[in-house]
Chain A
């Protein structure tokens, strides 16, 4: 399809959770508002609209991103994974299940962002991305070997997602429960988090 454009709107195709959506978007509209207001995918939350809280976290081409800071018009053809794409109530993602069992939330408003961020974070660690909490110098850290995720690593890597209910200790426990191996065994999640850019 040839994108239709006016001075103030464009038609773009967004691949959200493996489904293509062709939508006409106001050039001022963020990815988050397209998800919430046009596609009725309200799992991604708007906490601050400023990239400060992480409640809107989605995976964009497999990487964590604050969808409130991204304009939809600039993402024609992009592949997104939202919390709805990780699992559903009948077949939750292992991290969704772990959040439930560990009581890693109270009000639940930051939770989808925490979970999507957690899935992205586990992949980053598996690919050897270092963090501020990784021991050693910058060069020593950047070996590409999978990062060992102790609690300080998890806390550091999850610090872009704010939880005002104070569920952090339980979020750490939930992330510890879901190891990289578990993620890879779960074919749906592995495909979605590794293969979205293919």
Chain B
């Protein structure tokens, strides 16, 4: 087994373009402040929009008095459901903005104030008098909620419920039965750049600078909403300040900006206030997950049941697919996985980094740790014993599967063999110390894309221009796509110029589902190969038929995360001392940016375990933890040195580039590794996350 170590890597492959730790192409622009994000394009005579959020948890708008707002100096317009442009029916009902007086949840936008300046627009929004007919609301999911139902599908198109073998019989007959429930609060994406858009109509052409994970989809959506041909819309997402799923679908800011611009005849800039993001850009829905594991004496599973309860909104059905990873991870004779959901008067949940896997693997991997502890089997060994030959749910062969290598290599690097399995036996003053492990998984996704490449210069000094509407949300997409092109064309990296981030470029899928590089890279690779083989000057390709003719394999990335924690017995504070991840995610295309993605994902997993907590207000509706003072994303002092490594994995059944996607797997597994380490430190099982001092401290003194 070859293991890539980014710091000491000196082997021959380092000389190649693809896989090398090339610097980010836009790096200089980002560190010197010249990279412009969506709100940093200010066309001439630009006006400013400020959205107005519903102040009731459910009901309808009965009147909007805009007299005071419009009397303010510099006021331009107030858009409401009475006067806003009529929109075509969107595929995504959360974009049906200002079309009716209905208020489905607190924070839903009911108006847009437009003024000459930001300050005026904000003051106008404050001065608007909105009256409501308020209705009784319900915002709390519970395991016995009377309106729970089994959805046909969960997010990602997965069947809601699945069963292989006879779960009930296997579980009833199992030598050791575990019936465990894990509760996870809602979580918020909170990219550092709030959702922002600047829109301007030039004749019948709509130009929008939007903070988005995919400008192609935003352009198509705006065209449908405003009754335009897609060619009449240009969406630019050149630099995007993170998204983590919340910018994967078009969001309110770009629709409001385009409406405001059409209504006023001016360019309009709209930046969603940080405190309103939780209401309108999606969130990871809360989950209550019941795990029933039936184990044999040797720790192998006879039965695996994973049933997830979650919420959605009355606007749209989105079901966090938390039980889906249990269809992939471990072999058992009877497996039952299912979802129940209830539509509440809450903001609509959506994608947040590794939907389903991050939440589901928390429950499954904590449950596996409980089995290991109870049966006296090392947690690494327990997982090794349960790795299946084929994907349990589908019966398909795996295209590649290196979880065992990740576990063993991680254990070696972490020093796992020196671990004393007894809980609550290591003290450092008033601190209790412990270590834990968990596995990670994320599916390999790929979508059709187009791309073009043009030969520039003469034969003696060739250079190439690659064009594809990829989006760089921080992954280093420009850099890695240029590497793919340079490798295939056999030229140095600086001989490749690349344009991404505009819907005027060849259409491409969004940066999401860890699928961006595989999808765009496939098209770039194909274009470069055809150009090289044809000797022509320009080639445009489409990978639709290639993607559709993929063989039948179960394709997943895997990993193992190890954590060491210190638990303060006085305050209940849990601090992570070490985090180590080893991943098997196909070919790693840029060692530098890949390491950043793994570490970044693990950091978000640390937040999920220890700091990030949100809740819905049962009396008032809406989220309580609205901003970064209430919702605690990890800060510098929370995050220790993090090691991320990877297995050199060659999988011939993926795509010509060979990568599985790395944007999401880092978050998966990390929360369970930390929670399991807390058990090892304290001897207490905490099945409700995050492990904040109030929860941990209270249990420690019991």
Contacts and interface: CB of A to CB of B under 8 A. Distances in A.
A168 B641 CA distance: 9
A51 B39 CA distance: 19
Interface string B593-613: 101110111111000000000
B40 interface: yes
B474 A165 contact: yes
Interface in B43-78: 73
A46 B271 contact: yes
What range describes how many residues of A lie at the interface? 35 or more
Contacts, number: 190
Given A45-B193, A103-B592, A159-B636, A88 B32 contact: yes
A168 B636 CA distance: 6
Contacts of A83: 31-33
B30 A48 contact: no
A101 B596 CA distance: 12
A42 interface: yes
A166 B274 contact: no
Contacts of A37: 42, 117-118
A170 B23 CA distance: 14
Interface string A30-70: 00010011001111111111101101000000000000000
B596 A170 contact: yes
A50 B627 contact: yes
Interface string B511-541: 0000000000000000000000000000000
Contacts of A151: 641
Interface in A4-50: 8, 26, 28-29, 33, 36-37, 40-50
Contact of A100 (B31, B473, B476): B31
B165 interface: no
A172 B638 CA distance: 13
Contacts of B600: 106, 165-167
A37 B122 CA distance: 15
Nearest to A170: B596
A180 interface: no
B190 interface: yes
Contacts of A133: 637
A96 B192 contact: no
B33 A28 contact: no
A158 B604 CA distance: 18
B23 to A, nearest CB: 6
B32 A28 contact: no
Nearest to B473: A107
Interface stretch (A109-117, A122-130, A135-143, A183-191): A109-117
Given A103-B596, A107-B241, A107-B474, A164 B190 contact: yes
What range describes how many residues of B lie at the interface? 35 or more
Contacts of A159: 635-637
Contacts of A164: 190-192, 242, 244, 604, 633
B242 A106 contact: yes
Contacts of A86: 32
A112 B37 CA distance: 13
Contact of A162 (B192, B275, B475): B192
Given A159-B637, A164-B244, A168-B636, A106 B33 contact: no
A158 B592 CA distance: 23
Contact of B40 (A42, A99, A158, A160): A42
A52 B28 contact: no
Given A45-B241, A163-B192, A169-B639, A109 B37 contact: yes
Contacts of A53: 192, 628
A67 B377 CA distance: 55
A99 B275 CA distance: 30
Nearest to A115: B31
B636 A50 contact: no
B647 to A, nearest CB: 21
Contact of B193 (A40, A47, A50, A105): A47
Nearest to B604: A166
Nearest to B122: A28
A130 B659 CA distance: 46
In the A-B complex, list the 10 residue pairs whose CB atoms are closest, starting with the nearest. Answer: A43-B33, A166-B603, A109-B241, A107-B474, A108-B30, A106-B474, A166-B600, A83-B33, A42-B40, A52-B628
5 contacts: A88-B34, A107-B240, A108-B31, A161-B636, A165-B596
Interface of A: 8, 26, 28-29, 33, 36-37, 40-50, 52-53, 55, 82-84, 86-89, 92, 96-97, 99-101, 103, 105-112, 115, 133, 151-152, 154-156, 158-172
Given A48-B274, A107-B241, A166-B602, 12 more contacts: A33-B118, A45-B241, A47-B628, A92-B28, A103-B595, A106-B475, A106-B476, A115-B31, A155-B639, A159-B637, A162-B633, A167-B600
